[in-house]
Amino acid sequence: MTRPLNTALPAHRDRSGGRGDLARRLLAEFVGSAFLSAVVIGSGIAAQTLSPGQVGLELLENAAATAAGLFAIILMVGAVSGGHLNPVVSLVDAAFGGITWRDAAAYVPAQILGCIAGAVTANAMFGLSLVNLSQHERASAGRWLGEVVATIGLLLVIFALARSRRAHVTPAAVGAYIGSAYFFTSSTSFANPAITIGRMFSNTFAGIAPASVPAFIAGQLAGAVLAFGLITLLYPDVRSAAARVVVPAEELVASAE
């Protein structure tokens, strides 16, 4: 009989995926989220500068940079914190028992603060005001639905890979999914409450007006709830693999040997 995936880990490591102490993990989530926000917003500013008035090309450049950057950033911090970089990932992982609710409650503000810091840094790099609230209105029913769909797909990718012992390819899969979702969703796939809040602080191509933020986050949370149900139906034993979300340290070590 196949043994549940996380029973090979000592008891004190089961709910942290073999990762280090909470302070180090929070720092990793903050740093990773800051880089993610800087990549999304910085590449949006660069695209707007290099291809003015060509919205399709701007979006393609922004999507390509985000997909590649997300892949690298998850690898950067994954061995420390799991590379969640996203409150809905942390909350759903806690619901499945992969991390404790206490840790999830600590991850979320670290992710939000990191995304805000990344937005401010991106503004500074391109000579803009450090904080410049976005005027880019994105409120519509279609975009709200787009966030629901984008979030469901993201969580299905992550937890399906964890359950099928392929978590080592999660960085590439997540990057590819988000890059494609920039185009197939009406909202350009934020799928992350922390980055949604961060993008509010830059009045540039990738920004979102504060008035549009609540609907986007509501869509993301609704998507997380629906994804939890779908994952439970598709993978009834997913709890045995939840500690392997997103990039457990032991898999990175094994893949390098």
Q: What does the pLDDT profile of the chain (257 residues) look like in tens digits?
A: 333 233 222 223 334 444 559 999 999 999 999 999 999 999 999 999 999 999 999 999 999 999 999 999 999 999 899 999 999 999 999 999 989 999 999 999 999 999 999 999 999 999 999 999 999 999 899 999 999 999 999 999 999 998 888 888 999 999 999 999 999 999 999 999 999 999 999 999 999 999 999 999 999 999 999 999 999 999 988 887 666 676 554 444 444 44
DSSP H or E run through 36: helix 22-50
DSSP conformation class of 202: B
Give the model's pLDDT for residue 166: 83
Give the pTM.
Answer: 0.87
Contact status, residue 77 vs residue 170, Cβ threshold 8 Å = no
Judged by DSSP in three states, 128 sits in coil
Nearest C-alpha neighbor of 96 from the set 240, 249, 248 = 240
Nearest C-alpha neighbor of 231 from the set 91, 86, 96, 74 = 96
Give the model's pLDDT for residue 14: 39
Contact status, residue 75 vs residue 81, Cβ threshold 8 Å = no
For residues 146, 148, 153, 154, the Cα torsion angle rounded to the nearest 10 degrees is 100
Give the model's pLDDT for residue 242: 65
Judged by DSSP in three states, 5 sits in helix
Return d(Cα 29, Cα 74) in angstroms, integer: 10
Return d(Cα 100, Cα 10) in angstroms, integer: 16
- Helices 22-50 and 101-125 cross at an angle (nearest 10°) of 30
Return d(Cα 107, Cα 161) in angstroms, integer: 22
Return d(Cα 245, Cα 81) in angstroms, integer: 10
* Amino acid letter, residue 113: L
Alpha-carbon distance values, 10 to 5, 16, 19, 221, 243 (Å)? 12, 11, 12, 32, 12
What sections of 51-169 are H helices per DSSP?
A: 55-81, 87-95, 101-125, 141-163
Domains defined for the chain, CATH in brackets: 21-251 (1.20.1080.10)
DSSP conformation class of 244: G
Alpha-carbon distance values, 129 to 54, 120, 125, 218 (Å)? 24, 8, 10, 29
